[in-house]
């Protein structure tokens, strides 16, 4: 199906929240208007400024805008993954003055129908949320898995000095005796470990790789998507993995000048090994940074408190917010 730059959906029932809305495929020229609408979203940790251009170039992704009286008031991205069976919803945002009017729901319905027309094999919609799910949410969605969210803040220069002090004795702060250093996986090792064996099934939550809010099933097509990204893959033991982690390379965020965001997805329940990989990622990715860093770690909920204590008492970094959860949910696409 060819997507026109202006789209209408006469097949959807008219509703007050839909009246006057026009839908269009996003273009490079829309960037400034989208950023103006997105001011202060996600507490200043918006990833869209960094990814917008690449999103427009992804063949399996569609980025749709909703306009009202010619102005952009909402955006949603739909990415088809899992061998064409899943529509992953990302980047959803509505202009502040239009929130609470049903715009997001109308945009989601439109994107779902558009994606279904282009990809008939799509069966489910998936999205990742960090808000509190209520009874109505459980009527609409199935929970696939959830992780605890640990958000900390530090200056890169100060953390580098602290890491130099504690790395030689870092394992003294762990709950178990130190083991071998984490293994950095190359592409061949990633394919072997994640696709040719079932060793990762007991490590990953519900056999799902969650990378920077994106949930993927263990499929070759999904690994191909992930390998195009700048990610560090660590595991404690390739022959018998207990903890694995993926670290997205740091990127600037609009919270202020010289502010960076570092995303670490941690899988497994062993605190000592999780701390070891956490330190390894920090050491590698703060080495060349200067400025402030917001670091978000997603991990087994039971590890949140001891990892928080480790961050505050050993690394001397600031806790930004108390415990919240990252929930991967899905619903059938009818």
pLDDT at 19 (0 to 100):
58
Q: Per CATH, the architecture of 146-332 is what?
A: 3-Layer(aba) Sandwich (3.40)
Q: Which residues contact 31 (CB under 8 A, 6 or more apart)?
A: 52, 53
pLDDT at 168 (0 to 100):
66
> Which residue has better confidence, 109 or 134?
109
Domain spans in the chain, listed from the N-terminal domain onward: 21-122, 146-332
Is residue 5 predicted with pLDDT exceeding 70?
Answer: no
pLDDT at 251 (0 to 100):
93
Question: Alpha helices, DSSP H only, in 119-206?
Answer: 135-140, 156-166, 187-195
Q: What percent of the chain has pLDDT over 70?
A: 91
Q: 139 pLDDT band (50/70/90 cuts)?
A: confident
Helix, strand, coil percentages (3-state) for the chain, rounded to 5, are 35, 30, 35
pLDDT at 18 (0 to 100):
58
Beta bridge partners of residue 184, listed in sequence order: 234
Q: What percent of the chain has pLDDT over 90?
A: 79
Which of the four CATH numbers 3.40.50.1220, 3.40.630.30, 1.10.3720.10, 3.30.830.10 does domain 21-122 have?
A: 3.40.630.30
Is residue 16 predicted with pLDDT exceeding 80?
Answer: no
Other Cβ atoms less than 10 A from the Cβ of 31: the count is 15
Q: Which structure tokens are listed for 36? A: 């103006």
| 145-178 pLDDT tens trace | 999 999 999 999 999 999 999 886 544 444 444 5
Question: DSSP code of 288?
Answer: T
Phi, psi of 139 (to 5 degrees): -75, -30
pLDDT at 134 (0 to 100):
82
pLDDT at 56 (0 to 100):
95
pLDDT at 138 (0 to 100):
81
- 8 A C-beta contact, residue 148 and residue 299: yes
Q: What is the value of pTM for the model shown? A: 0.89
pLDDT at 269 (0 to 100):
97
Mean pLDDT, the chain, as a whole number? Answer: 90
Is residue 52 predicted with pLDDT exceeding 60?
Answer: yes
Q: What are all long-range contacts of 189-194, with beta carbons under 8 Å and residues at least 24 apart?
A: 189/233, 189/238, 190/223, 190/227, 190/233, 191/223, 192/238, 193/235, 193/238, 193/241, 194/218, 194/223
pLDDT at 3 (0 to 100):
37
pLDDT at 44 (0 to 100):
82
| 213-233 pLDDT tens trace | 999 999 999 999 999 999 999
Distance CA 233, CA 235 (A): 7
Q: Which residues contact 167 (CB under 8 A, 6 or more apart)?
A: 279, 283
Is residue 283 predicted with pLDDT exceeding 80?
Answer: yes
CB hemisphere CA count around 178 (13 angstroms): 12
- 8 A C-beta contact, residue 195 and residue 223: yes
> Which residue has better confidence, 7 or 239?
239
pLDDT (average), residues 259-286? 96
């Amino acid at each position: 199906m060819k997507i026109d730059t202006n789209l209408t959906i006469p097949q959807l029932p008219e509703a007050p929240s839909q009246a006057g809305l026009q839908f269009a495929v996003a273009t490079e020229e829309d960037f400034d208007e989208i950023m103006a609408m997105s001011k202060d979203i996600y507490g200043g940790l918006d990833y869209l400024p960094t990814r917008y251009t690449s999103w427009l170039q992804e063949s399996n992704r569609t980025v749709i805008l909703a306009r009202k009286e010619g102005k952009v008031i909402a955006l949603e991205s739909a990415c088809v993954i899992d061998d064409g069976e899943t529509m992953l919803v990302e980047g959803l945002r509505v202009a502040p003055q239009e929130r609470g009017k049903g715009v997001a729901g109308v945009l989601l319905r439109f994107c779902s129908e558009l994606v279904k027309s282009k990809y008939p094999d799509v069966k489910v919609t998936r999205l990742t949320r960090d808000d509190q799910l209520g009874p109505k949410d459980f009527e609409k969605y199935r929970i696939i898995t959830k992780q605890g969210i640990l958000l900390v803040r530090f200056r890169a220069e100060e953390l580098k000095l602290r890491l130099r002090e504690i790395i030689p004795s870092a394992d003294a702060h762990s709950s178990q005796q130190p083991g071998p250093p984490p293994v950095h996986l190359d592409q061949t090792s990633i394919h072997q470990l994640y696709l040719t064996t079932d060793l990762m099934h007991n490590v990953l939550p519900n056999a799902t790789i969650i990378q920077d809010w994106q949930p993927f099933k263990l499929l070759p097509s999904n690994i191909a998507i992930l390998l195009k990204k700048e990610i560090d893959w660590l595991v404690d033991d390739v022959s018998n993995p207990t903890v694995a982690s993926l670290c997205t390379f740091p990127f600037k965020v609009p919270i202020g000048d010289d502010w960076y965001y570092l995303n670490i997805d941690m899988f497994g329940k062993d605190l000592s090994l999780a701390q070891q990989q956490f330190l390894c990622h920090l050491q590698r990715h703060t080495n060349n940074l200067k400025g402030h860093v917001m670091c978000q770690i997603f991990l087994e909920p039971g590890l949140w408190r001891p990892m928080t204590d480790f961050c505050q008492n050993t690394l001397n970094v600031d806790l930004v917010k108390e415990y919240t959860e990252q929930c991967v949910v899905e619903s059938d696409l009818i």
